[in-house]
Amino acid sequence: MCIFTSDKDIPGHVRLSTRTLQYLIIPLLSAALLVVGVLNINGCAAQPLLPVWHIVAGSTGLIVPLLYLLFDDLNPALAKKCPGLSEALDNVVVFVLPVYILFEIAWLITGTVWVVGVDVNECDKTIHIFSVVVIVNFWIHILTPLLFMLCLCCSRIFPFLGYCTYWNIMKDAIELWTRPVRLGICLVIALPLGVSMVGVGVYSLQSCSNETAEISFKSPNNTSGTDMTATDFELDQDMLDVEMHHIPVWLIVAGILVVLVPVFYFIYDAFCKPEDVKQSTKNLSQLLVILFLLAGLAWAVVGFVWIFGAHNIQNTYCGHNSTTYWFAFASLIILNSLMDVWICFKICVILYWALISDE
């Protein structure tokens, strides 16, 4: 019998959450890990294997959507046409899935040990800070469902305690979690962050354009001390002029996307989650929300590439170690952390529906 059945009996908002995690969030965050590891392959002399950890973690994370596609769609359909092959695939999954989970946990522990033992003075600050943030977030992703399950088990073992404390807190939180509260939290977080990103980006873009003459470019092809020709110098200057504006442009576009988050969250909350919405309206709303998520996550990956690849630019306003650079770096980490909080919340929603809800 196929152990991976159709998810048609799952409520729409829960199914949308699972699909968003499976096919959007996890793949793009894994791609960001992979990109950062490749760009900084020689960025940590104290622990040369730290970038390798990012590459392996990102590569294995990209397997997740393939596994879900196989289990959620292909195998249930295969069970109807070829039950024997589906049964064999189930047996393989029963063996492979625990091995995959154990490998992910072991690799996370390995990365934690490597990061803790790194000498900060001998490792690039950006790759070190990014590693710390990623590892902390990964531990949060693992501990969140475990803590939720622990609370559930404790409430079952000690029913009176669970009913009097945990369940009452959960029920009160659910009752208070109304649409105005959700939109209010979204506005309080998104508007200040988005407006500040746009403001810093516009100011830096103007400052970079005015300070072009003061820029020095560390060219890896000119380490011998020989003079560059006029053509080579012009090409380097043209390349530098483009790369110099990457971070301000990323801040402006990312800030606009952040400001638009409350609008698309309202569309998601009002038209995607309810079951009584007209089907064409729901489909259009889901398409808009998915396209917005794809654009935001893809732009976040672009931010990882541009920000972590800005080591060759030396400029007061837009170069490496400039205030704009560190503001963009901090904004990227904050957005990544907010995304992780959202992921943990979605995990709790899925677990609540699977283990507690009467729906």
Residues of the chain with pLDDT under 70: 1-17, 72-73, 152-174, 209-243, 311-319, 352-359
CB-based contacts of 4, cutoff 8 Å, min separation 6 = 71, 72, 75, 76, 90, 93
For the four alpha carbons of 218, 224, 225 and 231, in that order, the dihedral sign comes to negative
Residue pair 262/190 in contact by the 8 Å Cβ criterion: yes
- Please, what is the angle between helix 246-259 and helix 230-244, to 10°? 20
CB-based contacts of 92, cutoff 8 Å, min separation 6 = none
Q: What is the rounded CA–CA span in Å between residue 301 and residue 309? A: 12
Q: What is the rounded CA–CA span in Å between residue 186 and residue 2? A: 41
- Please, what is the angle between helix 323-355 and helix 125-157, to 10°? 20
Give the chain's length.
359
CA distances from residue 87 to 66, 67, 70, 83 in whole angstroms, order as listed: 19, 16, 14, 6
Nearest residue to 117 (alpha-carbon basis) of 92, 143, 135: 135
Q: Residue 136, CB half-sphere, CA atoms under 13 Å: how many?
A: 11
Predicted confidence at residue 239, as pLDDT, reads 52
Predicted confidence at residue 119, as pLDDT, reads 84
Residue pair 24/293 in contact by the 8 Å Cβ criterion: yes
Q: What is the rounded CA–CA span in Å between residue 22 and residue 66? A: 9
What is the pTM assigned to this prediction?
A: 0.70
Predicted confidence at residue 193, as pLDDT, reads 95
Residue pair 343/25 in contact by the 8 Å Cβ criterion: yes
Nearest residue to 77 (alpha-carbon basis) of 1, 7, 6: 6
Residue pair 336/307 in contact by the 8 Å Cβ criterion: no
Q: What is the rounded CA–CA span in Å between residue 205 and residue 249? A: 7
Nearest residue to 129 (alpha-carbon basis) of 202, 217, 36: 36
Predicted confidence at residue 216, as pLDDT, reads 44
Q: What is the rounded CA–CA span in Å between residue 305 and residue 329? A: 11
Predicted confidence at residue 218, as pLDDT, reads 44
Predicted confidence at residue 107, as pLDDT, reads 93
